[in-house]
Amino acid sequence: MLDTALAIIRDEGADRLTLGHLAARAGISKPVAYDHFGTRSKLLIELYKSIDQAQAAALQAALTSGERSIEETIEVLASAYIHCYADTSGEWHAIGAALAGSEEKDAVYQELLDGYVQLFAAVLKPYVDLQQAELERRCIGLIGAGEALSAAMARGNCGEAEAADTFATLILGGLRTPFSCQSGGET
């Protein structure tokens, strides 16, 4: 049913995805669709999670093949993360827009982002001399940058390669040990 729902979004747009329309396209009765998902919002959440699981699996696969330098690891990490958005042909953003304002979506989205923060931290930890909490805070910022670059790419403001290169540069810069800032007007 999720594949059919995704096809509806691709072919007709997210606004056309209803449980009744899904049932008709999938060749099942409406009660089956309603029993399985309950509401349109829950269907959209399941689609959102399904796309994310596929993206996370692709990212994991890209990162588990061979030893790399930090630069090579960052390049793979950035390219795979950005490619996940390019690979969804806009469905991810369409589903997100259809769920806009939903408390369920906000909770699920935060859970997914937290998962990427943990993944980035685990992949980058061997290359940096940062405390875990500091590394995770930096990864939160990096994921935010990746999200913004992915959205810019989806809007047509840059290509996939440009977004990935910029993201890799930001990741590398974000892992460097910062200079110490002192308050009180000293420079």
2 with 94, same domain?
Answer: no
For residue 183, pLDDT beyond 90: no
Q: What percent of the chain has pLDDT over 90?
A: 42
pLDDT at res. 178: 64
118 with 80, same domain?
Answer: yes
pLDDT at res. 87: 67
Cα 45 to Cα 137: distance, rounded to the nearest angstrom: 27
For residue 102, pLDDT beyond 70: yes
Structural contact between residues 47 and 2, judged by C-beta atoms closer than 8 angstroms: yes
17 with 90, same domain?
Answer: no
Any idea what the CATH number is for the domain that residue 2 is in? 1.10.10
Structural domain range at position 26: 1-38
Structural contact between residues 85 and 92, judged by C-beta atoms closer than 8 angstroms: yes
- pLDDT per residue as tens digits for the range 60-101: 777 776 678 889 999 989 998 888 777 666 676 777 777 777
For residue 118, pLDDT beyond 80: yes
Structural contact between residues 123 and 73, judged by C-beta atoms closer than 8 angstroms: yes
> pTM (2 decimals)?
0.75
pLDDT at res. 185: 46
Any idea what the CATH number is for the domain that residue 149 is in? 1.10.357.10
Cα-flanking dihedrals φ and ψ of residue 156, to 5°?
A: 90, 15
Cα 27 to Cα 13: distance, rounded to the nearest angstrom: 19
